[in-house]
Amino acid sequence: MIVGVGVDVVGVERFGRTLARTPALRTRLFTPAERDLPLESLAARFAAKEAVAKALGAPGGLAWHDAEVERSASGRPVLRVRGTVAAAAAELGVTTWHLSLTHDAGVASAFVLAEALGQAGTP
């Protein structure tokens, strides 16, 4: 069962200017593993974090570091949640996350689907 869907779009150049203007923002928004990625990847990860919040119904109190985008061995983006985000997801019964990221032509975007699986892995 689909619990929520979130999508977000970020202008890469504008996001880069924001990070340059407020250097502490990089530390506030991103985990240590994410911080040194190229700007396009950071913009896509920021979009993913925003999309996660939207998929959860935008509850207050979510911590940026509690949603992290990692890469699987195949290179596919994988969403890892913990703390405040994991708690909000658990309240809604979310057991599985689906994530798609893209960046092209100066825009980064993310699509997130939060899913609750029934018994034996069936929706």
Query: What pLDDT digit, counting tens, does each position of 53-92 carry?
Result: 999 999 889 999 999 999 999 999 999 999 999 999 999 9
For residues 45-52, give the mean pLDDT: 98
- Alpha-carbon distance 54 to 56, whole Å? 5
Write down the mean pLDDT value for the chain.
Answer: 94
Q: What domains sit in the chain, N to C, each tagged with a CATH number?
A: 2-121 (3.90.470.20)
- Alpha-carbon distance 99 to 52, whole Å? 9
Retrieve residue 85's tokens: 């985000």
Q: What is the pTM of this model?
A: 0.92
H/E element holding 29?
helix 24-29
Give the contacts of 122 (CB within 8 A, at least 6 positions apart).
none
Predicted confidence at residue 123, as pLDDT, reads 52
Question: Looking at this protein, which amino acid is placed at residue 38?
Answer: P
